[in-house]
Structure 1
């Protein structure tokens, strides 16, 4: 939107339609409320923090959850199972302090996330295992025996 006013060659600033380039209240409010709000709210905030990406695979015997979370340690994770809801969370705080003769410099950082998944009733929750290696958290969710896919077989007709 341009706020420039065309000035006639005679130098006069009066114009019959002088507010052509100035938005009316209605269009101005429409512009505010119809724009992408996520860009408005994230423009001045840390946009580097996001939920980790997750792959979920199903095999005949289990479900496998792979979560990409590089830069963390195994001890940074907390896995909880409550009423068939698996919660994966982490919280990491860092503080750096540098003292010199005439100044002290402190920096701190904080990052956290929590992802929850409702598990199917076919998961044997007593046998769930997890490991963390090379920035990938792997969670193995074995199926109950009765839920495991049986191999195909031929049925003889009598």
Structure 2
């Protein structure tokens, strides 16, 4: 593949590629990073668990992070906060062994995930709370007093 450089009379440079059918490096990289990863790469081969989906909503007093992760126990989760970075992870190991007359069947599985979020400065780190109920992990991120939305009010003219 050869690149020819033409110098037009106006003094600018124009890059002429003799093989216009081949994508450029930047187009190729854009194609890779802008398409969704196949489910084979984002799921666990043993259980089919994918990266949990997250809803984040903002109220006047707090941010609420809700993550759908059914089938886990509270003890499976690890929630850490370090320099305004919130990380939520879980690791599940499963081992089953069945013995019957002439054979032994042993299966094991492993699945894990980790989601990381950068928190805004307006979050009061000392009052973060988490709960897990009916397959939904909820994390309450209360706002600092100065960041809370104040109710609308009418100002009288003096």
TM-score normalised to structure 1 length? 0.71
Change (3 A) 1:82 1:93: same
Superposed structure 1 runs of 4+ greater than 4 Å apart: 33-42
Q: Secondary structure at the match of 1:75?
A: helix
Output the TM-score relative to the length of structure 2: 0.71
Matches within 5 A, 1:70-81: 70-81=70-81
For residues 37 and 147 of structure 1, the distance between their equivalents in structure 2, rounded to whole angstroms, comes to: 36
Quick check: 1:84 aligned with 2:84? yes
- Equivalent residue, structure 2, for 1:112: 112
Shift of 1:49: 2.6
Q: Which has the larger radius of gyration?
A: 1
Partner of 2:100: 100
Unaligned runs of 5+ in 2: 1-20, 22-27
Q: Report the counterpart of residue 125 of structure 2 in structure 1.
A: 125
Structure 1's 76 and 60: CA in aligned 2 closer, same or farther, altered over 3 A?
same
Q: How does 1:2-151 map to 2 (within 5 A)?
A: 38-39=37-38, 46=45, 48-151=48-151
CA distance in 2, matches of 1:38, 1:121: 32
Gaps of 5+ in 1: 1-25, 27-32
Alignment RMSD (CA, Å):
2.7
